[in-house]
Amino acid sequence: MNHVLARYQRVLAGVSDVVERVPAHRWTSASPCPGWTGSHVLGHIIDGQRQIAALLSGQGPREPLRDPSEAVVGPPATAWTATCRSMLDLLAVTDPNSRVASHHGEVTAEWVLATAVVEPLVHAWDLAQAAGCETLLDDEAVEACLTAIAPMAERFAATGMYAPALTAPAQATPQQQLLALLGRKPA
């Protein structure tokens, strides 16, 4: 199996692990994303997977939901399980070399997944924070994202979708470094 597809599958499994551990009363808890609860974060992850699925299936780019919580229909864990299953089914038949239309023009499916993995990866951490639980993110995905993002962290903040980079603590792990680059205060 292609390593980028395998990485994406592991990151989705990481989201599933966190979703399974969220106590029912914590879905409305604040997340590290300003103005968003755990339910908003999960809705954003679900909506993001639907956007990626649209690209990989040849439907082309689609706009994100204005209110990400609209993507959570029914119990949050059930909504995520259905989305994750659908994505895993799609990944099982995705040719990483296939060309797809994106906001960046025609790119490979592998490029889409390599670029998009940061979203479910980091938002799994955000969701864990809202739930009051710890999570260790996939090491290889963290390293890949850290390598890609470090040279252009200021551009991520300029989009308004990420807070300005923070200084990582001394002796920070790669996970802590990535989180700090994306404006999160790692423990």
- Same domain flag for 107 and 184: no
CA distances from 158 to 102, 119, 161 (A): 21, 17, 8
- pTM for the model: 0.95
Helix axes 118-131, 139-149, angle to 10 degrees: 120
Same domain, 163 and 110: no
Domain tally, the chain: 2
The full 3-state SS of 84-113, as one line of letters, equals HHHHHHHHHCCCCCCEEEECCEEEEHHHHH
Contact 14, 124 (CB under 8 A): yes
Whether residues 10 and 67 share a domain: the answer is yes
Same domain, 106 and 148: no
Looking at the structure, do residues 147 and 183 belong to the same domain, yes or no?
A: yes
Q: Would you place residue 187 in the very low, low, confident or very high pLDDT band (cuts 50, 70, 90)? A: low
CATH code for position 61 = 1.20.120.450
129/145 same-domain check: no
Domain span at 148: 136-187
Q: Residues 142, 51: one domain? A: no
pLDDT in tens, 85-137: 999 999 999 999 999 999 888 999 999 999 999 999 999 999 999 999 999 99
Contact 114, 124 (CB under 8 A): no
Cβ–Cβ under 8 Å, residues 37 and 142: no
Same domain, 31 and 98: yes
